Homo-oligomer: A and B are copies of this chain.
């Protein structure tokens, strides 16, 4: 299952060339990840209270289309777990007509905030804390 959130491009997010600043694509992607976690019952304060936090290890953004002020876009998010301490995050930013404005692929993990080390089985740990664990897996 792929989760998504809708976002309106805000005027202050544009750069001197009049299009969405490149770093804001990553902010939109992060917003969708937090909203997925929240929808699954894992808001930031719950994760902090449990002593864990998601951490980005690597991300690749392909910028395919410019975005303009006021445009409405849809940001998708899907987590795919394997057997290791890391998992992949597949995201897209879609324009209203369905064209892909950006492809964002990441590698992430779950940090133990006291030891500052990645925990094993991140998917299992998140699922055990969540109210609605189905959202957490592809």
Contacts and interface: CB of A to CB of B under 8 A. Distances in A.
B57 A30 contact: no
B12 A14 contact: no
A118 to B, nearest CB: 12
Q: Tell me what chain A mostly uses at the interface: helix, strand, loop, or mixed.
A: mixed
Interface of A: 5, 8, 10-12, 14-18, 21-24, 26-27, 30-31, 33-35, 38, 43-45, 48, 53, 55-63, 66, 68-70, 111, 113, 116
A10 B31 contact: yes
Given A11-B30, A11-B34, A59 B16 contact: no
A32 to B, nearest CB: 9
